[in-house]
Amino acid sequence: MSIKHPRIYLASQSPRRRELLKQIGVNFEILLLRSDPRREVCVDETPEENEDPALYVQRICRLKAQAGWETRAFRDLPPFPILAADTTVTIDDKIIGKPRDKVHAAEILHTLSGRQHLVLTAVAMSFEDKFDMRLSSTTVTFAKLDEERIHHYLLSNEAHDKAGAYGIQGQAGAFVERIEGSYTGVMGLPLFETVELLKKFGYPAP
């Protein structure tokens, strides 16, 4: 069987996404969007006013994939597909982004405490004029968290740079009473949807 694309580019610095791609044996290279000081390719992740969370996460994912393809072209790298993803947490139809600091992280965790929230992860691939995207939606139920438990978690520094101020693969996994959907989607890269895209773009995925 011929292999059309033996490699892809991952337009993300997330170590969780790297680990998940390695888990399923994908051959990839990291493509940093800010790769040259003369032409800084970046994505503004600011939500638009009253933007629907599902539309928001797909919009940002599309922008990341497009920025990845532009970066590849600018650096004159071999033309392999670009994989991009974006994750957001939403509760009461509001987008819960990454915490600004530990105080903000504590506020977010108090909001999620004892309630259900939704984790949305969009994953996209871009190659030349071809583009496709999938959306993973997972409902997560948190246990009731008291001040001491939240404080102890924040000491781990796991909340930093994570949507919803937690990583399910770390200590915060103990906060989760129930999950309905994709565990890897909550981590930041839904593997089922990712494999669908890889196959569509000619990568020999499992």
Of 2.60.40.1840, 3.40.190.10, 3.30.160.270, 3.90.950.10, the CATH number of 8-200 is 3.90.950.10
Q: Does 44 participate in catalysis according to the annotation?
A: no
Domain ranges of the chain: 8-200
Q: What is the pLDDT along the chain (206 residues), one digit of tens a residue?
A: 345 668 999 999 899 999 999 999 999 999 987 644 544 557 888 999 999 999 999 999 999 999 999 999 999 999 999 999 999 999 999 999 999 999 999 999 999 999 999 999 999 999 999 999 999 999 999 999 999 999 999 999 999 989 999 999 999 999 999 999 999 999 999 999 999 999 999 888 77
Which of 130, 139, 124 lies closest to 182, judged by CA?
A: 139
Name the catalytic one among 36, 76, 86, 101.
86
Residue type, position 196, single letter: E
